[in-house]
Structure 1
Amino acid sequence: MPKISQKGLRMPASPIRKLTPFADKAKQDGKKVYHLNIGQPDIETPAGMLDAVKNIDFNIWAYTASEGTLNYRKKLAEYYNKLGYGIGTQDIIVTTGGSEAITIAMMTCLDAGDEVIIPEPFYANYNGFASQGDVVVKPILSYIENDFALPPISEFEKLITDKTKAIIICNPNNPTGYLYTREELEALKTLCLKYDLYLLCDEAYREFCYDGREFISPMHLEGLENNVIVLDTVSKRYSACGARLGCIITKNKEVWTTALKFAQARLSPGMVEQIAGEAAVDTPDSYFEMVNAEYKSRRDTLVNALNNMDGVFCPTPGGAFYIVARLPIDNADKFCQWLLENFEYNNQTVMLAPATGFYSTPSSGLNEVRLAYVLNKDDLKTAMVCLEEALKVYPGRTN
């Protein structure tokens, strides 16, 4: 029998999706499963975006330009320039989801064996995308005790070698919800300029910042134009995960030209998605005000419930719609599977994402889980009752 590639064997399973068969079995057994494992919001997609799709009228479903349609890139430039990015259509490449934006950026900037530093815990697929390109992830730990703030720059410098080519951050962060400060980003700017590094910034959750906290992008930092690559997606901003539409933004012309070659190799992003994306840019501010208020309320509901549980600690995130909580458990992977296989409370249970999959450092996150507050508050409250009851009877409880 032919053998699987070593790359395939090294490819990590998704901590977000790997327990799906157990959730499916729980549902077949009649249990209601509250999905807090995945960032699939229940917020409605903006009506204008849906109407644009419903009203499409064409006779040929054609290829688009590899960099995306000019009309859509014009609308994107309009959106980003309201945020002060100062870009044009020539600085944008439209991608098939944020995932493709990340993979193309990695392929553009990193050769096999090159190293990228990523504060952890981090979006689990960074590991997977790096594995595809034989890129070496150099993790740098952030800690739940200080809300997963950016580690000191001195810790970054300890990891830098002649193979180090880039730093990746997600702001606001997935999975922790941490929102980086201007001071932290200025420190990263100094580091990147000192060592001539790329700074890849995943901004999928830009719109979701709470408690009056300010969102700062590396695009706002003067003098870093040739180092910054912003990675973005419509999935979270417009609650349109199935649209599979993202983009790369960079003012570095060499990066843009090289990235375009990878975009040409996969032909083009979808036409229908870009039509929807054009309409999405005209979504009124009132939509985001409503969504922000809703997510903040859900965040407070979840954080308060968790911190009221015996032995549980959960920091209050400044953005996104995720939290990482520390539980009194022996092993997060075992616990999350046990919830689906062996536990029910009033014929209900909860699906969580074990935090181990968001770390690259071995044995990290063993007693942590990620929860996505993408369900309505009533469902969140019920799910937290289930979790609290589960912790009371879990065989591997540690205190």
Structure 2
Amino acid sequence: MPSISTKGRHMPESPIRKLMPYAEQALKDGKTIYHLNIGQPDIKTPDVALDAIKESNIDVLAYSSSNGSEIYREKLADYYKKHGIDVTSNDIIVTTGASEGLLFLFSSILDPGDEVIISEPFYANYIAFSTATGVNVVPVVCKIDNNFALPPIKEYEKLITERTKAILICNPGNPTGYLYTHDEINKLGALAHKHNLFLVADEVYREFVYDDNEHHSILNLPGIDEHTILIDSVSKRYSMCGARVGCLVSRNKEVLQTVLKFAQARLSPPTYGQIAAEAALDTPQSYFDEVIEEYTKRRNLLIEELEKIKGVKIAKPKGAFYCIVELPIANADHFAQWLLESFHLNGETVMIAPAAGFYSTPGLGLNQIRIAYVLNREKLKRAVYILKEALNQYITL
């Protein structure tokens, strides 16, 4: 029989989606599942975006430009300027979600065997993108004991080799909810400049910042325009995960020209998705004010309820809508499967994301889970109560 590729064998399963067969069987068994495992917001998509699709009068659903609709890119540039980021439409390439942007970027700035330094735990698909492009991830371990703060910059610097080409951060972070300080961003920028590296920031959760904190974009770092690249998406900002529209933003023209060649090879980003995304840029600020207020209440409720569970350690997020939780168990993968296969409380159970899949260092995160607080507060409180009862039963097995 013909064999699959080495790359295919090494491609990791999603720690978020790999439990779906067990969830599907649990549903067939009549269980109700509270999904704490995936960052699919339940906040309503802005009407202005949905109406734009409904009211479109397209006769031929044609390709768009490979770098995205010019009108959309111009409106995106205006959006960034409102957030203090001075770019033009020519600094933007529209992609099929942030995922495609990262995949194109890895292929554009990294050769097979090159290294990218990433603070871990990190978004699990970074490993998938690195595997697909033959790039090596070099992790810098962040710890729950100090809320996953950036380690001393010397921890980054001692990992830099002749194969190091980039540093990648997610700000605010998935899966930790960590928000980088202005000082941390400046230090990373100085390090990238000193060692002639790219500094890449996944900023898809820019709007989701709590407690009067402020988001600091790498594109505002002075004097290093040739080093900085921003990855963005409409998925979380407007609760439009299915639109599959993101973008890559940089003032480095060579990077943009190279990324565009990959964009041309896939022809164009989705037309309807861009129609919705362009319209979504007209979403009033009141929408975001309400969303941030709601997520702040959810985060506070989640922390309050989790702190009632004996033996649990929690990292308090300052942004995004994720929380890493350390449980009094040995293996979260086994526990997550057990929750779906063998446990229910009056016909209800929860689905969680084991956190080991968000680490690249073997053995880390085995007793941790990621919780996405994208359920309304009533459901979220119920889900944590079920989790508490499940833990009480599990640790006595």
TM-score, structure 1 as length reference: 0.99
**Equivalent residue for 1:120?**
120
Deviation at 1:257, TM superposition (A): 0.6
**Equivalent residue for 1:214?**
214
Deviation at 1:277, TM superposition (A): 1.0
- The AA in structure 2 aligned to 1:340 is L
- The AA in structure 2 aligned to 1:177 is G
- The AA in structure 1 aligned to 2:39 is G
Q: 1:132-183 deviations in whole A, cap 9, x for unaligned?
A: 0000000110000000001111111111100000000000000000000000
**Equivalent residue for 2:19?**
19
**Equivalent residue for 2:2?**
2
- The AA in structure 1 aligned to 2:367 is N
**Equivalent residue for 1:322?**
322
- The AA in structure 2 aligned to 1:60 is V
Q: 1:269-326 deviations in whole A, cap 9, x for unaligned?
A: 0111111111110100000000000000000111111111100011211000000001
- The AA in structure 2 aligned to 1:121 is P
Does residue 377 (structure 1) correspond to residue 377 (structure 2)? The answer is: yes
**Equivalent residue for 1:201?**
201
**Equivalent residue for 1:86?**
86
**Equivalent residue for 2:161?**
161
In 2, distance between residues paired with 1:58 and 1:392?
56
In 1, distance between residues paired with 2:69 and 2:214?
32
In 2, distance between residues paired with 1:328 and 1:131?
32
Q: Provide closer, same or farther for how the CA distance between residues 379 and 289 of structure 1 changes in structure 2, counting only shifts above 3 A.
A: same
Q: Provide closer, same or farther for how the CA distance between residues 250 and 311 of structure 1 changes in structure 2, counting only shifts above 3 A.
A: same
**Equivalent residue for 1:273?**
273
Report if the CA contact (8 A) 1:324-1:370 is conserved.
Answer: yes
In 1, distance between residues paired with 2:396 and 2:110?
42
CA RMSD in angstroms comes to 0.8
In 1, distance between residues paired with 2:361 and 2:378?
36
SS of alignment partner, residue 314 of structure 2: coil
Report if the CA contact (8 A) 1:331-1:396 is conserved.
Answer: no
Report if the CA contact (8 A) 1:330-1:396 is conserved.
Answer: no
Q: 1:79-135 deviations in whole A, cap 9, x for unaligned?
A: 011111110010000000110011011111100000000000000000000000000
In 2, distance between residues paired with 1:144 and 1:304?
17
**Equivalent residue for 1:68?**
68
In the TM superposition, what are the counterparts of 1:145-184 in structure 2 within 5 Å? Answer: 145-184=145-184
**Equivalent residue for 1:293?**
293
Q: Provide closer, same or farther for how the CA distance between residues 396 and 138 of structure 1 changes in structure 2, counting only shifts above 3 A.
A: farther
In 2, distance between residues paired with 1:59 and 1:291?
36
State which drifts further: 341-350 or 285-294. Answer: 341-350
In 1, distance between residues paired with 2:308 and 2:193?
44
Q: Provide closer, same or farther for how the CA distance between residues 396 and 176 of structure 1 changes in structure 2, counting only shifts above 3 A.
A: farther
TM-score, structure 2 as length reference: 0.99
Report if the CA contact (8 A) 1:354-1:368 is conserved.
Answer: yes
SS of alignment partner, residue 79 of structure 2: helix
How many matched pairs?
397
In 2, distance between residues paired with 1:190 and 1:301?
38
Deviation at 1:393, TM superposition (A): 0.9
**Equivalent residue for 1:235?**
235
In 1, distance between residues paired with 2:73 and 2:190?
31
**Equivalent residue for 2:141?**
141
**Equivalent residue for 1:108?**
108
- The AA in structure 2 aligned to 1:233 is S
In 2, distance between residues paired with 1:329 and 1:396?
11
Report if the CA contact (8 A) 1:352-1:370 is conserved.
Answer: yes
Q: 1:182-203 deviations in whole A, cap 9, x for unaligned?
A: 0000110110001000011001
- The AA in structure 1 aligned to 2:164 is T
SS of alignment partner, residue 230 of structure 1: strand
- The AA in structure 1 aligned to 2:158 is K
SS of alignment partner, residue 293 of structure 1: helix
Q: 1:314-366 deviations in whole A, cap 9, x for unaligned?
A: 12110000000010011011111111111111110000000000000000001
- The AA in structure 1 aligned to 2:323 is I
Does residue 244 (structure 1) correspond to residue 248 (structure 2)? The answer is: no
**Equivalent residue for 1:345?**
345
- The AA in structure 1 aligned to 2:35 is H
In 1, distance between residues paired with 2:125 and 2:230?
17
Q: 1:252-275 deviations in whole A, cap 9, x for unaligned?
A: 000011110010010000111111
- Indicate the percent of aligned positions where both proteins have the same amino acid: 56
**Equivalent residue for 1:309?**
309
Report if the CA contact (8 A) 1:329-1:396 is conserved.
Answer: no
Report if the CA contact (8 A) 1:204-1:231 is conserved.
Answer: yes
Structure 1: tracts of 5 or more residues without a match = none
**Equivalent residue for 2:224?**
224
Report if the CA contact (8 A) 1:140-1:156 is conserved.
Answer: yes
SS of alignment partner, residue 159 of structure 1: coil
Deviation at 1:395, TM superposition (A): 4.2
